[in-house]
Amino acid sequence: MGLFSKKNNSDVLKTKNKDRVEMGEFQGQSVVEVQLIPTVLVIGANAFRECRSLKRVLLPERVCEIGDYAFRDCDVMEEFNFPDTMRYPDGSYGKIGRGCFEGCGLLRRIIIPEGISTIETNAFRNCAALESVKLPRTIRAIHMGAFSGCARLETLDMPVTPELIAADAFWDTPKQEEMWKNRKPILTIVHTSSFGTQELFQFSTSPRYYGIEQTDRDMSIVLDACDDSQIMFRISQYRYAGGRHTVPFGTLTQLFKEDYDCAGAAGHQSEEINALYR
């Protein structure tokens, strides 16, 4: 169990002197409750994924990052207590990763802490019992599928309207129509390859970002202009598709495509980057 132990031979995990839960450290294990001590800052990707007996999680105030899919498919988890604020030690925004709570079907209420600026792709997807969500004043972006499939989501406390709300962020929820009316068009860039991998990046089209670099993970763009009919931008940092691009509203537009042959069994392969302004 590394620097973690079970309490009194029960199914409660308590941390000892440690600053993180490692990637996949407890994936699939039969733990019922997790209590993390104040030294823990980071919960790694997949750390508690598919812990199908996990019902309750208590986070310390210093936690600043919850990795991708960290609690995915913890399908009997009823209670998750975030700290009041999630920020890195340098003061920058904290992180709740992609697909972090996807499939946690018994969660009913979530309060996202101040210091979180982004709800990542599929973060709460298919949380079927989720009835109430409170977002922080620091929220700036809600990415694709973030709350999709949360069919009981009736209460959404949103003190500010995020600059970026993905088209399907609230798909198949009672908030779907309301959020569609509130959202502004965004730029979505998708990189796919014949190896089956897909990378997705999303950017705000707010005029306040004209000429200012926006970064989503390892892609950066600079927005030149946009209106109801098209968007013009530059990819300033990425391994493909640099330069200037114009994308019409509502039309999936190819930015880059390359076909090549690999030696051996891999054979013919391709890379493709497309953009959608919607």
Q: Is the pLDDT of residue 265 over 70?
A: no
Name the pLDDT band for 269 (thresholds 50, 70, 90). Answer: confident
Exposed, middle or buried: residue 263 (CB in 10 Å: 0-12, 13-18, 19+)? exposed
Q: Does residue 54 or residue 261 have the better pLDDT?
A: 54
pTM of the model: 0.87
Q: How far apart are CA 185 and CA 203, in angstroms?
A: 10
pLDDT in tens, 51-100: 999 999 999 999 999 999 999 999 999 999 999 999 999 999 999 999 99
Name the pLDDT band for 15 (thresholds 50, 70, 90). Answer: low
Domains of the chain: which residue ranges?
Answer: 1-183, 186-277
pLDDT in tens, 159-186: 999 999 999 999 999 999 999 988 999 9
What is the assigned CATH class of domain 1-183? alpha beta
pLDDT in tens, 110-145: 999 999 999 999 999 999 999 999 999 999 999 999
Q: How far apart are CA 53 and CA 215, in angstroms?
A: 37
pLDDT in tens, 225-241: 999 999 999 999 998 77
Name the pLDDT band for 5 (thresholds 50, 70, 90). Answer: very low
Name the pLDDT band for 194 (thresholds 50, 70, 90). Answer: confident
Q: Which of 120, 234, 124, 242 is nearest to 187 (CA)?
A: 234
Q: How far apart are CA 76 and CA 78, in angstroms?
A: 6
Please give the angle made by the CA atoms of 44, 114 and 172, to the nearest 5 degrees: 75
| The pLDDT value given to residue 3 | 43
Q: Which residues are CB-neighbours of 100 under 8 A, at least 6 positions away?
A: 66, 67, 68, 69, 70, 71, 72, 120, 123, 124
Q: Mean of the per-residue pLDDT values for the chain? A: 91
- Share of residues in the chain with pLDDT > 90 (%): 81
| Residues 146 and 153 sit within 8 Å (Cβ to Cβ) | no
Q: How far apart are CA 127 and CA 147, in angstroms?
A: 8
| The pLDDT value given to residue 52 | 95
Name the pLDDT band for 17 (thresholds 50, 70, 90). Answer: low
